[in-house]
Structure 1
Amino acid sequence: MAGKAITIRIEPWSEDDLRLLRAANAPELMDHLGGPETEEQLLDRHRRYVDLSADRTGRGRMFRIVLETGGRDGGEAAGTIGFWEQTWEDEQVYETGWSVLPAFQGLGVATAGTLAVVEAARAERKHRFLHAFPSVTNGPSNAVCRKAGFSLAGECDFEYPPGNLLRSNDWCIDLGPTGG
């Protein structure tokens, strides 16, 4: 696939996406986030994702990233991405995060998904800024931020998962004027 443009779409998270969440819980994908979650934690996360995607108040959305394959099957689930409200430095902002399954890494899926989620967050017209907080040691996710047009605000300590301080880069993109 090298040199070939990929086409993705983001689809709202649904009850059927638990299998994708389990696949994204692989140790190699969770290495920068403190390791895999337990089954109970995954079920809790899945419920939050389903609830967030059903919410229409602008709190955020979760999506599956679908790589369009050109076949009649409609595409293949390649990863997860979303945005949600966060208080950062006393300001209400959106935060984003993603995970791309190993078979789809290095193809531009994460960057394309991030560009799509920027537009989804922008369409809400609720918060001016969207932040991403990849670990300073996560080169691929930091590259996604750069390629998607985010600006590096600097390093910070970010709590994720709760109770664990993670040395992160604070990447930010201006979503433009809000509606409120």
Structure 2
Amino acid sequence: MISPIISLIIFAMFMTGSPGPGNLLMMAGGSTQGFKKSLLFLSGMVAGKTAVNLLIAVGVGVFVVENEILFESLKYVSSAFIIYLSISSFRNIKKNSDLSKFTFKNGLLVHPLSPKTWSMILLAQSQISNIGISQLQRSLLIWIIFTVGQIVFHSSWGIAGSILGRVFSNNIWVNRIILFLTILFVVWFLFD
């Protein structure tokens, strides 16, 4: 039983630590408004991923992934939303506005709209489906592992963004790079 759990932890580390919409958006938020002011956005992302975990635990995830039209629609809506948040954060820097895009509500939408999130949680469920624990225990274990990974890595990316924002007094170029990387990731995701 230990080996599949260790594999799950490693899988979760790669999935939550690698560049993706949540991490890149946290970096953008950290660089534009600082890490502390991005914590509500982070909290929203954690709550949103918790909702996805719960929906998958009760069987909705299989329906979403098996319904090709719904899954593809989710992919495009997610991509549009992430590009919208990225461009909005960049525009807010230029206008020196209140950076209202990094809210709990917007964070709440990031992971439920992400097909990557649905796929990785479903894959995690199947990865440990035969280790002799109940569906409830399996779902709780996956939620704990992914939530810890999400908090650690999203925070790390947010802190890195905050450091970049402080190091470069005119961080417009830093944010242009982050914006470019985020949009590049989304385009790659769409055509993968």
Shorter-chain TM-score bucket reads under 0.3
User: 1 or 2, which has the higher helix percentage?
Assistant: 2
Structure with greater contact order relative to length (CA < 8 Å, sep ≥ 6): 2
User: 1 or 2, which has the higher strand percentage?
Assistant: 1
TM-score normalised over the length of structure 1? 0.27
TM-score normalised over the length of structure 2? 0.26
